[in-house]
Amino acid sequence: MSTPSHAGAPHTAASDGAQPAHGPDMVKVRAAVRGGALAYFVDQFDIYLPIVVLAPATIYFQSASLSASTTAMLSSLVFASTLVGRPLGALVFGHFADTVGRKRTTLVAVGGFGVTTAVIACLPGHETIGAWSIGLLIALRFVDGIFLGGEYTTAVPLAMEWSPRHKRGLYASLITSTSPWAYAVIAAITLLMLQLLPSAGLHSDYVQWGWRVPFVIGALLAAVLFLYYLKQVHEPPKERSGERHKLPFVRLVVRYPKALAQVFVLMTGTWLATNMEAAVTPAQLKDHLLLSSKEVTVTMLVINASAALAYPFLGVLSQRIGRRRFYIGYGLSVLVVGAGSYSLLMASGGGFGAALGWGVLIGVFTVGTFGPIAAYLTERFPANIRSTGYGVGYSLALIAPAFYQFYLRQFDGVMPAHLAPAVLIVLAGALISLGGFLGPETKDVDMADDSTIPALS
């Protein structure tokens, strides 16, 4: 996991910055990158639906007699079940992406989560079927997570394999910037729905049917994505997808355990920071700062729009200074600026204006790791296990951070609940920096030449 010396690095045309004699077909490049961006947007749109859309409609799925802590725990399990399903999806679909093909596997995954999201939009509530309502929601979100884990495991490596080396940082950031944009779009849709529909009480319009509208939109977006991949996106050139192995996951674990472990450390910090920003902050804005549902939605929209605007700059920065330096430095900024901004906001007891102001810094300095992550993780693994390596590395680290509510409870009686998330943001920043430090530099990797990938064994 240590950084390789320059003396041991292979000397190739790619490492000198030269372009191949026959450049990539730019029509296919743009189609693959657009497909990757659309796939990532649809994926993240679906992921964050429960956090934003269902927050005002919790009473539809749960008994009103439950305690506040039980209600919060069940709500977190709706989100966590999706995250836990993603590593399984990455493993299954990564296998088929590396053995059958990226495009065909993407189509199956997209079709699967589109149908699952449509089924969720039709679920009856607690008043009709009792505890089965929340149980079915959690189970369907788990299935949804399996298909979602498969979708980005195939679509993102496909886009990166088509991308020119010197633009991978930019293209990766354009793809991943769709994640906070997706959150912002969900927040905007929810805000509009709350503006148009009453949301107070079990039988209000929003609680009974308004929340279904964004889920239907998510299913329709999956249909659009399916048609786009079917008609527009091509498999990567054979030399970039590599010779296929029958058991890519076994090969990943046996041949490249250090690379997988290093990515695991980096991504654990990344997901921990993400959950504090996306899942915990809205609840604290409402419970501690006493913002209204609409003010919380607007604040989260601003936080995620700020992150989205920052991603391209962070991706280009990683291309200039190198991925390794970027992650070491960005992890430190999460530790200092991200945790500091969150703490100052919560300690200030400020209102809506303060939330918007500090929210910009929280957005930029908690989830910016994702800026160049699509490039970094695909550069980290050889072609014949790239989807498996990317998917498992990206998703396996989801599991521990998904149970953030259990960790936060350990601080009960030790420090105020509204400040405890800052401790986990500090830990997240430290893990991101450590993950970056333990890994090699990858920005000059040639996707068609595995000999340019450093420190794999």
pLDDT, tens only, 219-241:
999 999 999 989 888 876 654 54
Across the range 100-120, mean pLDDT stands at 90
**How many angstroms separate the Cα of 171 from the Cα of each of 100, 176, 265, 323, 393?**
25, 9, 24, 14, 20
> DSSP labels for 294-355?
HHHHHHHHHHHHHHHHHHHHHHHHHHHH-HHHHHHHHHHHIIIIIHHHHHHHHHHT--HHHH
Asked whether residue 18 carries a pLDDT value surpassing 60, the answer given is: no
More confident residue, 319 or 131: 319
User: Sorting pLDDT into bands at 50, 70 and 90, what band is 115?
Assistant: very high
User: Sorting pLDDT into bands at 50, 70 and 90, what band is 274?
Assistant: very high
User: Sorting pLDDT into bands at 50, 70 and 90, what band is 3?
Assistant: very low
Q: What angle do CA 278, 281, 286 make, to 5 degrees?
A: 130
Nearest to 389 by CA among 399, 402, 376: 376
How much of the chain exceeds pLDDT 90, in percent? 44
More confident residue, 332 or 97: 332
Asked whether residue 271 carries a pLDDT value surpassing 70, the answer given is: yes
Across the range 168-176, mean pLDDT stands at 93
pLDDT score for 222? 94
Across the range 209-217, mean pLDDT stands at 93
pLDDT score for 248? 85
User: Is the Cβ–Cβ distance between 177 and 276 less than 8 Å?
Assistant: no
pLDDT score for 239? 47
DSSP class of 454: -
Q: Residue 151 carries which side chain, given as an amino acid letter?
A: E
> Could you give the CA distance from residue 172 to residue 443 in angstroms, rounded to a whole number?
12
Asked whether residue 22 carries a pLDDT value surpassing 50, the answer given is: no
CATH class of the domain defined by 28-232+247-452: mainly alpha
pLDDT score for 455? 56
More confident residue, 327 or 155: 327
Q: What residue ranges do the domains of the chain occupy?
A: 28-232+247-452
Nearest to 285 by CA among 272, 301, 297: 297
User: Is the Cβ–Cβ distance between 209 and 54 less than 8 Å?
Assistant: no
User: Is the Cβ–Cβ distance between 58 and 131 less than 8 Å?
Assistant: no
The length of the chain, given as a count of residues: 457
More confident residue, 223 or 154: 223
Asked whether residue 11 carries a pLDDT value surpassing 70, the answer given is: no
pLDDT tens by residue, 411-439: 988 999 899 999 999 999 999 999 999 99
pLDDT tens by residue, 304-363: 899 999 999 999 999 999 999 999 999 999 999 999 999 999 988 778 999 999 999 999
pLDDT score for 336? 97
Across the range 86-115, mean pLDDT stands at 87
pLDDT score for 24? 57
User: Is the Cβ–Cβ distance between 385 and 53 less than 8 Å?
Assistant: no
Residues 6 or more apart whose Cβ sits within 8 Å of residue 383: 161, 239, 240, 241, 242, 447, 448, 450
pLDDT score for 245? 60
Q: What is the CA radius of gyration of the chain?
A: 21
> Could you give the CA distance from residue 257 to residue 245 in angstroms, rounded to a whole number?
17
Across the range 126-136, mean pLDDT stands at 90
Across the range 8-17, mean pLDDT stands at 38
Backbone angles phi, psi at 446, to 5 degrees: -95, 115
pLDDT score for 23? 52
The pair of structure tokens assigned to 192 is 């509009």
User: Sorting pLDDT into bands at 50, 70 and 90, what band is 244?
Assistant: low
Across the range 203-223, mean pLDDT stands at 92
